[in-house]
Amino acid sequence: MSSSRPSRRSIGAAAEAFVAAYLEAQGYRIQARNWRSPFGEIDLIVEGEGWLRFVEVRAKRSDRFGSPEESLTPRKRRRLLQTALAYLGQQGEREPCWRVDLASVTLDSQGRPVSVTFVENVLGE
């Protein structure tokens, strides 16, 4: 096995760190990374501009096998909603304005993040 190609896990971690740094540079505060509930995991939970954003990070080199948005199956969308609601239920404060966003990270040929595009409110609620 060649060690020159980064693992899927290391690519995912790099993409999440890239998105977190981008959002922090935009003035968002990171509330949690890889927050888990019995329903699933949310990659990033950030607060800013009057919103609590639950961010699902997807990294791809190309759209050859579909766009990152297309990779959010109905089952994954349901799990994201359930996990977001579990997080909100634990906060014990009034419910903030919140949404689930998708961060689509483009990778270079070496698997390094080079850009991010956001699709806001992927649950459409």
Over residues 2-31, mean pLDDT:
87
Confidence of residue 121 (pLDDT cuts 50, 70, 90): very high
* pLDDT of 2 higher than 50: no
At position 47, the amino acid (one-letter code) is E
Tens of pLDDT, residues 26-58: 999 999 999 999 999 999 999 998 899 999 999
What structural domains and CATH numbers belong to the chain?
8-119 (3.40.1350.10)
* pLDDT of 102 higher than 90: yes
Q: Is the pTM of this model over 0.75?
A: yes
**pLDDT at position 105:** 92
8 A C-beta contact, residue 105 and residue 116: yes
Better-predicted residue by pLDDT, 124 or 51? 51
Query: Distance between CA atoms of 59 and 125, rounded to whole angstroms?
Result: 24
Tens of pLDDT, residues 65-101: 677 777 788 999 999 999 999 999 998 767 779 999 9
Contacts of 30 (CB under 8 A, 6+ apart): 20, 23, 24, 44, 45, 46
